[in-house]
Amino acid sequence: MTIINAERTTEADQGTAAATAAVEQVEGEIRAFVRRDLSVFRRRQQENGDAAMENLNSVIERVSGASVVEVERVMGELAQVRDMLRNEGQRVQREISGYASLSQAAMTSMKIIGDSLEQWKSQSPQPALRKD
């Protein structure tokens, strides 16, 4: 039993190590991207203050552009889900209404059948019981 736990621990450690390596790689790429953009920004700032502001604006637009597109995509998906849920809610309401109507009709029919059986039973002659 100890061997199985050791194997599971090793697999978990390997998975954790792989995840950590992936996170470190992504962080490294982000750092490199930021350094590259900042170095360009610093060089241009020394050259011209207005150009630096324009570069800063372009960096902000590039960084925020993907986020804005993603937010708009998520908002569109949420609107579609909202519409689908509204349609499903209306469909369920129609189904419940139909079930209620059917149930009421069944109850009315059962009452009519019960009343008819009572009348039929009271009108039919009772058979005489024979004694042997």
Residues 6+ apart with CB under 8 A from 52: 41, 44, 45
**C-alpha atoms less than 13 angstroms from C-alpha of 22 in its C-beta half-sphere:** 6
Q: What is the model's pLDDT at position 45?
A: 52
In whole angstroms, give the CA distance from residue 87 to residue 7.
Answer: 51
pLDDT tens sequence across 73-117: 999 999 999 999 999 999 999 999 999 999 999 999 999 999 999
User: Does the pLDDT of residue 130 top 80, yes or no?
Assistant: no
Provide DSSP, 107-119.
HHHHHHHHHHHHH
CB–CB of 41/56 below 8 Å?
yes
pTM comes to 0.41
Minimum mean pLDDT among 4-8, 39-43, 69-73: which range? 4-8
Query: 130: helix, coil or strand?
Result: coil
Mean pLDDT of 110-130: 81
